[in-house]
Structure 1
Amino acid sequence: MTLNSDFIKISFGDEMENSKDKEYNIGSYWKVFLLIFISWFVFMAVMFWSANDFEFDFPPSTPLSFLGLFGDSFNVLTSLFTGLAFAGVIISVELQRKELKSTRDELTGQKDALEKQKLEMEQQSFDNRFFQMLNRFNKIREKFVADEKIVPNGSSRKQNHILDFFNGFCTTVSGSQNIETVAAMFKDSLFLDDENEFKYYFINLYQILKFIDKFYNERIDEAKFHTNMIRAQLTSNESQLLFLHIFFLQEFGGKKYMELIKKYAMLEHLDYERLKNRCNDPVYKKLIDHILLEYEQEVFGKNKKILEHINVLKKL
């Protein structure tokens, strides 16, 4: 009730102020009329009193020419009303001009208010959909960690599918002869398996990044606010898997995905040393260094440790 009352006071208060301004303007114009009338009156008084032989009682024998001259003397009065009429037209035009300007200003204000309301509604719609997508993405992430898994020694632990993926991969590539073989194994594991449990994870991550990028367009700071929120949720294991996935995805048409990863520095928190030391196989380590050099440095954002390591590798 208070809010509505305040709104009414503000709205009608503005209208009252506008009305007062208009009354003030009209009053100032009446002053002009009054000044013109007083000037005319003074002029006529001086003219009449300065004529010593002026008489209002004309005898019957007064010539018509004299009467005509007397009547012509009142042309001043006609000129006065003509001038006043012309001034009235000018004032009317001026008032209409100001009224039209006021109307345009009001329409501009309404347009700005509607535009602001539209942007707020679009932002609200974006936020709702963004958090829906983020919630769905987190549910997919939860599947990577099962409740419990019985290990051979009889104990139990949380099952981490990404960790199991790396452990199994390291066992497979042990003793490989070249990085091409290891790279082919990575691609087979990440893309050629139709039942790959990571497929929907990366698809949803891409859709979220694309959605943010499309909505904010060139408003990069606002877009990064949301992408940083996603990046902060990624675990070390997820960042390492993303590092490998995006690199090999380029062979399957993942150029746009790579652009988004680069634009929002999604690998800034990558623990590169941990990734490199997951497998003791020297060929695996060589492949990881090779992939690192293929990436553009913007992907790693402000990760000084990785940027320094890249500079060292380039000198070798």
Structure 2
Amino acid sequence: MNNNEDFSKVLWKWLCFIWVIPYIGIFLNWKFGLEVGQLGSYGDFIAGTTVPLLTFVSFLAIIRTLRIQEEQMSLQKDDLQSSINQMGEQSKLLRIQGFENTFFNLINLHNQIVQTMKDTHAPKDSYGRMVFSDIYRSLAHAYKSKKHQISQKGLEIEEIKCIRMAYDDFYKLRQPEFEHYFRSLYSIMKYIDKANLESIEKEPYVEIIKAQLSSLELAVLFYHGLSRQGEKFLFFIQKYGMISDLNYNLIFHSQQHSNIYNELFESFEKEYEG
């Protein structure tokens, strides 16, 4: 704005100077009593000098006008970009708010499922997360029983097959108690995975899920991922580090079963992302 004002002042000075020149001729005519005809040569001189000057000043004015328009267009472009950025931020905020509304509704539903879980196999009924204590014992018993049966028959079976056979027996027995639990947890993780958010933006929501899982839940979730019933869940368990806080003392053969876990994830990851 100051540059425009300074240029206008300079331009106005030039115009004033140019228009003063004819008045010099009038002054000379009055001062020295010259005849009008004698001022002809002076007029030719003035015309020869002022016209180029006026043309030059006009050229400067045009250039300055173009620069002013360019500056205005640049300011409008900046304003437009700022508006676009603000709209982008608002859109992102609305998207996150919409995601969080659904996410926390899913969390509330999952917590209700946990609270209504009931262990009908124990001498005394237990409810909620206390059920996982007996569920884990049932899983451990199913695995040991299957290993014993295989040993008694003198069979050689891959460990992953043994785990899955044991989990099948366990699942048939305890399915009514935790089927909805795993289905709900899987739905939440799938919702996070498919959300239109950056990976770093998803981390806080994954941490909310992980914070609610007990040690026994993590152990059961580990073997659920190895089972046929939890094959699809395995990808999310490993991708988002859901069992990063797992107590490996609760794993029946921690090193061997962890290796199997990683191998299954690598093969399933290629299939899932392919």
Instruction: Quickly name the TM-score band, shorter chain normalised.
Output: 0.7 to 0.9
Q: Displacement, 1:55?
A: 5.9
Q: 2:242 aligns to what?
A: 266
CA–CA distance in 2 between the matches of 1:268 and 1:170?
21
Instruction: Give distance in 2, aligned partners of 1:93 and 1:213.
Output: 53
Count of equivalent residues: 249
In the other structure, the counterpart of 2:5 is: 27
Which residue of the other structure, out of 171, 174, 189, is the alignment partner of 2:170? 189
CA displacement, residues 132-182 of structure 1 (integer Å, 9 cap, x when unaligned): 111111111222256x9983xxxx563443333344455555343346556
Asked if 2 retains the 8 angstrom alpha-carbon contact of 1:227 and 1:264, the reply is yes
d(CA) in 2 for partners of 1:266 and 1:108?
Answer: 41
Matches within 5 A, 1:81-230: 81-145=54-118, 151=123, 156=124, 158-159=126-127, 160-171=130-141, 173-174=144-145, 175-178=148-151, 180-181=161-162, 183-190=164-171, 196-215=176-195, 217=197, 219-230=198-209
Aligned to 1:290: 256
Structure 2 unpaired stretches of 5+: 152-158, 266-274
Q: What amino acid sits opposite 2:132 in the alignment? A: I
Amino acid at match of 1:199: E
Contact 1:33-1:84 within 8 A present in 2 as well:
yes
TM-score, L = length of structure 2: 0.74
How big is the shift at 1:241? 0.8
Aligned partner letter, 1:56: L
In structure 2, the residue matched to 1:254 is 231
For 2:236, the aligned partner's letter is L
Per the alignment, in what secondary structure is the counterpart of residue 268 of structure 1? coil
Aligned to 2:126, the other structure's residue is in SS state: strand
Matched, 1:69 2:41: yes
- In 2 relative to 1, CA 94–150 (structure 1 residues): closer, same or farther, beyond 3 Å? closer
Task: Tell me how far 1:240 sits from its aligned partner.
Answer: 1.0
Aligned residues of 1:239 and 1:270 also touching (Cα < 8 A): yes
CA distance in 2, matches of 1:158, 1:196: 15
Which residue of the other structure, out of 13, 34, 51, is the alignment partner of 1:56? 34
CA RMSD of aligned residues (A): 3.6
Matched-pair contact (CA < 8 Å) for 2:22–2:46: no
Give SS of 1:79's match.
Answer: helix
2:53 and 2:248 map into 1 onto residues whose CA distance is 94
Q: How far 1:266 sits from its partner (Å)?
A: 1.0
Structure 1 stretches of 5 or more lacking a match? 1-21, 277-285, 300-316
Please report the TM-score for the alignment, with normalisation by the length of structure 1: 0.65
